[in-house]
Amino acid sequence: MVYELTYGFWILLNNMNGVGEVPYREGQSIGIIPEGIDKNGKPHKLRLYSIASSAIGDFGDSKTVSLCVKRLVYTNESGEIVKGVCSNFLCDLKPGDEAKITGPVGKEMLMPKDPNATIIMLGTGTGIAPFRSFLWKMFFEEHEDYKFNGLAWLFLGVPTSSSLLYKEEFEKMKEKNPENFRLDFAVSREQTNDKGEKMYIQTRMAEYAEELWELLKKDNTFVYMCGLKGMEKGIDEIMVSLAAKDGIDWLEYKKQLKKSEQWNVEVY
């Protein structure tokens, strides 16, 4: 049995000497090195976590980084309780505790600089993290050199409605920016489509297949995918038939999109 608890929290961004800040960009990750040693007596290896806050942080002072972490606890085949090393380390931190961090790292998921772009975000579970960072910059902050005037479209897939992370934040963004933000949830254990099929992220996208395909033919449309690897295959299946109607080989077209940095994937 697997117990999944999701936590959002802030880490103060000071280096090991307690001086200075750690600058990062929307879409990057930081490494966390858990305390203690592994079964071989060596220090634990770092784990990478996508950053869930904009470059100036949730408090706007560039001194914190927000993470979205799923605590992993399960019972193995021998009946032993196993705890994920880093997720439990992070979820058990208390205010004032220290954590060793590395980075930031990552170029694959960097937010587009074009304020007029169409940005399609496909996330499952804690894969929502980089998209929260994008959306905070777009809709919760004011910048002299950046004002988002394009279209942000978020598809978030989860097993149950209780797993919809940051739901209230996103709904507030949509309420205030109805022309610039579209929001679609796919709750697989609670929702079905017209055919009675479970509502996975690719199932929800299929409802807008023609519209999404038209957007993908534009030079200023950027797609970002973060979360479970399984959704990538389902999305390809949708696009193959749509592209074929225009005489286009989807897999070849996707290679072109990747080359132009319009198709960005970070799955696990």
Query: Who contacts 182 (Cβ-Cβ below 8 Å, separation ≥6)?
Result: 151, 152, 153, 154, 174
Q: Given the residues 26, 29, 50, 224, select the one marked as catalytic.
A: 50
Q: Given the residues 54, 66, 68, 266, select the one marked as catalytic.
A: 266
Annotation says 214 is catalytic: no
Q: Given the residues 142, 144, 179, 268, select the one marked as catalytic.
A: 268
Annotation says 50 is catalytic: yes
Q: Cα separation of 119 and 161, whole Å?
A: 24
Q: Given the residues 68, 86, 91, 226, select the one marked as catalytic.
A: 226
Sheet holding 64-75, edge to edge: 2-12, 64-75, 81-83
Q: Given the residues 49, 166, 200, 224, select the one marked as catalytic.
A: 49
Annotation says 49 is catalytic: yes
Q: Cα separation of 134 and 138, whole Å?
A: 6
**What tokens appear for 263 in the block?**
């198709």
Strand ranges (E), 15-167: 29-33, 47-50, 64-75, 81-83, 100-105, 118-124, 151-158
Q: Looking at the annotation, which residues are catalytic?
A: 49-50, 226, 266, 268
